[in-house]
Chain A
Amino acid sequence: MILFAAVNTTALIVFGLVLSVTLGITWWASKRASSAVGFYAAGRGITGFQNGLAISGDYLSAASFLGIAGLIYIFGFDGFVYSIGFLVAFLTVMFLLAERMRNSGKYTIADVLSFRLRERPARVAAAIGTLNVAAFYLIAQMVGAGVLIQALVGIDFTPAVLITGTFMLVYVVFGGMVATTWVQIIKAVLLMIGIVVMSLFVLERVDFNPIELFNSAEKAGKAEGSTFSLGPGTFLKNNTDMVSLGLALVLGTAGLPHILMRFFTVPDAKAARSSVVYAMFIIGFFYLLTTIIGFGARAILGQEGVEKAGTGGNLAAPNLAEELGGGAGTTGGDLFLAIIAGVAFATILAVVAGLVLSASSAVAHDIWSSIIRKGKDSEKEEVLVAKVAALGIGAIAMFIAILGGEGLNVSFMVGLAFAIAASANFPALLLALSWPRFNTAGAVTGVLFGVVSALGLIIISPIVWGGPPGAPDTGAFKWYDLNNPGIISIPMGFLGCYLGTVLSKESGNERSFHELRVRAETGLGSEQAEAG
């Protein structure tokens, strides 16, 4: 069979281990995920520390692990800018949303909006935002999964996407949020162990002196054709684009539905708060180590390794693992490569499961149950619809990923997801919780302005039209050269919220704003944890 032409057997065994453990968890979780609160929110019985790990597992995608390590390997400092943005974003989440989400919502972002706005339009708007973000993020992760598994294990792109998609659906459909949470927790633990062990191996080579690592990375970065630098400006060449990306990163996380949904899985706001702090520590430590991996790859693999590291340097971390283990062909090298590949695989599975769950909850809870059936459906029916929706969404994502193939640019799709999240979801959520006058028309216009401006600007951006990042005059129009739309589309989202609110005659939301305010601040009247 062509399928298994050059399969790495050790990697296959590690993959098998990851899959059997996660399937075992799904079997255990399946009994606990039959009610709606069990399926969407794990019965709200996840502790703060567990949720902190799960948020880390939900958030640290393959783009974080392999992508950032690769960018730092190839470009140096500019890759690290992503790490900083992804981390500082959690302060936005903690200060502005985490506890208030837990106190005012039930299962989805739309619950918070519809609390004080007219239910149907508010839910439709929130579902549009959620589905757009989840779709782009999900397709990006699926393509990334296919490319990686192909490179690391030797399974072809199409079957690799199908395998990933199938397991993702098994976790979600049979185990709901309970299984998804524990897959994310296990992945976070594996990922942290993996990156710590790799970092220790790297640091051992420089006698545990990080400065020495920087020096040798810089020395290796002086090679012919290298783009590596310890200062900025090698990857993000367009200054405005860098600012735009920085803005989209720091505000986008606070609009990611699969991250916000995690706050509904804890018993109260206190646990929501402590889970963000745990997540910040775990994620911060992880991103700090991305420089050890990236600089280590530069110092150890050198410029000769760039070609082997593939597009964007995505394979730099696995290649480094192979080298640290003893080199290609050695038992140690094979084993270390296989383990890191297995960690990367677990990473992808945990993230896509979270994404599918958030998208299917928007379809089942917001569109089906609240709008089509107007709350007249049974809980059983809603959970069934959520499972069917998950299957549909998963199938579509697999189909587009296979159709688009390896040609789809993964980091561009993730950047787009962050830009839409920051421009559409974040402004509406923040204003619903803090602006007494905010109304339904404002929420709907805000979400539409955010989605349309982010999508439109991406469509005319240079990266879509084939130009290299940062190169001028390669977009659809000479006057527009930004690859990340955040700097324009985020203000557009807020502007839409404002204009929609002041231009519509709708009023009478005052009372429910006061209710929401008390509820968000104190937790009075918020959803209780499932008993038992």
Chain B
Amino acid sequence: MTDAPGQADAQGDAINYEAVEASPEFQELVRKRRAFVLPATIFFLVWYMGFILLAAYAEGFMSERVYQGLTVGYVLALTQFLMVLVLGLMYLQRANKTYDPLAEKAIEKYSGHSERYAKADNHGNADAAVGSRAAGSDQGAER
């Protein structure tokens, strides 16, 4: 179709950002996302830096044996992999189930726009193309 213009975003005045921000859906989205991301970020930083601090300052403890050649340090390192796996999946699930629908609702109801993406300016036909594109991509990401 049309090439998206390289310059000049279409920050059309028609998008009512203030109304979206003030909406209960948006407030709920921000609150819910923060309620997960903030503690999760603190947890992973503490768990990771704790591991680093132990490796730096508690060599004896980290070198102790759990079973034969398996050291405390290696087991704690494995918990870091587990942490990344679990937090990654938890966030993905929450985002798909809770955050995305809230964001969509906030946009639909309050933005004065049914379309989420910046319009490629001067091209009235951009909307239809984007709609189908976004729907297709959602499926792609879901799989």
Q: How large is the interface on A (under 10, 10 to 19, 20 to 34, 35 or more residues)?
A: 35 or more
Cα distance A232–B77 when bound, in Å? 12
A243 touches B53 (CB 8 A): yes
> Which A residues touch B45, using CB under 8 A?
250
> Which B residues touch A522, using CB under 8 A?
20, 26, 29, 103, 106-107, 116
CB distance from B104 to the nearest CB of A (A): 8
Does A192 count as interface, using CB distance less than 8 angstroms?
Answer: no
> Which A residues touch B126, using CB under 8 A?
528, 531
User: Using a Cβ cutoff of 8 Å, how many contacts connect chains A and B?
Assistant: 240
Does A205 count as interface, using CB distance less than 8 angstroms?
Answer: no
A528 touches B120 (CB 8 A): yes
Cα distance A81–B51 when bound, in Å? 9
Does B41 count as interface, using CB distance less than 8 angstroms?
Answer: yes
Does B85 count as interface, using CB distance less than 8 angstroms?
Answer: yes
> Which B residues touch A106, using CB under 8 A?
9
> Which A residues touch B59, using CB under 8 A?
231-233
Q: Determine which residue in B67, B69, B71, B89 has the highest number of CB atoms from chain A within 10 A of its CB, and name it.
A: B69
Cα distance A166–B67 when bound, in Å? 51
> Which B residues touch A288, using CB under 8 A?
81
Does A515 count as interface, using CB distance less than 8 angstroms?
Answer: yes
- A residues 204-254 near B (Cβ < 8 Å) are 211-215, 217-218, 229-233, 236, 239-240, 242-243, 246-247, 250
Interface flags for A513-529 (1: CB within 8 Å of B; 0: not) read: 01101110111111111
B81 touches A87 (CB 8 A): yes
Cα distance A217–B95 when bound, in Å? 43
A47 touches B73 (CB 8 A): no
A95 touches B51 (CB 8 A): no
- B residues 113-129 near A (Cβ < 8 Å) are 113, 116-120, 126, 129
B92 touches A273 (CB 8 A): yes
Cα distance A266–B133 when bound, in Å? 11
> Which B residues touch A531, using CB under 8 A?
1-2, 126, 129-130, 133
- A residues 490-532 near B (Cβ < 8 Å) are 514-515, 517-519, 521-532
> Which B residues touch A240, using CB under 8 A?
56
Q: Determine which residue in A99, A231, A243 has the highest number of CB atoms from chain B within 10 A of its CB, and name it.
A: A231
Does A58 count as interface, using CB distance less than 8 angstroms?
Answer: no
Which residue of B is nearest A270, CB measured? B141
B103 touches A526 (CB 8 A): no
Cα distance A530–B140 when bound, in Å? 16
Q: With A47-B137, A379-B5, A531-B130 in contact, do A95 and B91 touch (Cβ < 8 Å)? A: yes
CB distance from A492 to the nearest CB of B (A): 19
Does A271 count as interface, using CB distance less than 8 angstroms?
Answer: yes
Cα distance A178–B136 when bound, in Å? 19
> Which B residues touch A525, using CB under 8 A?
11, 15, 17, 116-118
Q: Determine which residue in B6, B9, B116 has the highest number of CB atoms from chain A within 10 A of its CB, and name it.
A: B6
Cα distance A213–B106 when bound, in Å? 55
> Which B residues touch A229, using CB under 8 A?
63
> Which one of A149-157, A277-285, A413-421, A454-462 is at the B interface?
A277-285
Contact of B134 among A217, A268, A281 (CB under 8 A): A268
A270 touches B138 (CB 8 A): yes
Cα distance A517–B22 when bound, in Å? 12
CB distance from A190 to the nearest CB of B (A): 23
Q: With A232-B73, A528-B118 in contact, do A94 and B4 touch (Cβ < 8 Å)? A: no
> Which B residues touch A270, using CB under 8 A?
95-96, 100, 137-138, 141
Q: With A231-B59, A524-B15 in contact, do A514 and B21 touch (Cβ < 8 Å)? A: yes
Q: With A518-B26, A530-B3 in contact, do A91 and B56 touch (Cβ < 8 Å)? A: no
Contact of A84 among B18, B26, B48, B68 (CB under 8 A): B48
B85 touches A243 (CB 8 A): no
Does A88 count as interface, using CB distance less than 8 angstroms?
Answer: yes
- B residues 11-32 near A (Cβ < 8 Å) are 11, 15, 17-18, 20-21, 26, 29-30
> Which B residues touch A280, using CB under 8 A?
84-85, 88
Which residue of B is nearest A40, CB measured? B6
Q: Determine which residue in B20, B33, B84 has the highest number of CB atoms from chain A within 10 A of its CB, and name it.
A: B84
7 residue pairs bridging A and B, Cβ less than 8 Å apart:
A35-B3, A84-B77, A229-B63, A273-B92, A515-B11, A524-B15, A524-B111
Given A94-B91, A375-B7, 14 other A-B residues pairs in contact with their CB atoms under 8 A: A81-B52, A212-B69, A230-B69, A231-B59, A246-B49, A271-B140, A274-B92, A276-B88, A287-B81, A518-B17, A521-B26, A523-B117, A525-B17, A528-B120
Interface residues of A (CB under 8 A from B): 35-37, 47-49, 77-78, 80-81, 83-85, 87-88, 90-92, 94-96, 99, 106, 211-215, 217-218, 229-233, 236, 239-240, 242-243, 246-247, 250, 266-268, 270-271, 273-274, 276-277, 280-281, 284, 287-288, 291, 369, 375, 377-379, 382, 514-515, 517-519, 521-532
- Sort A-B residue pairs by CB-CB distance and give the 9 closest, nearest first: A231-B63, A214-B69, A379-B6, A246-B52, A528-B117, A267-B137, A531-B129, A36-B6, A531-B1
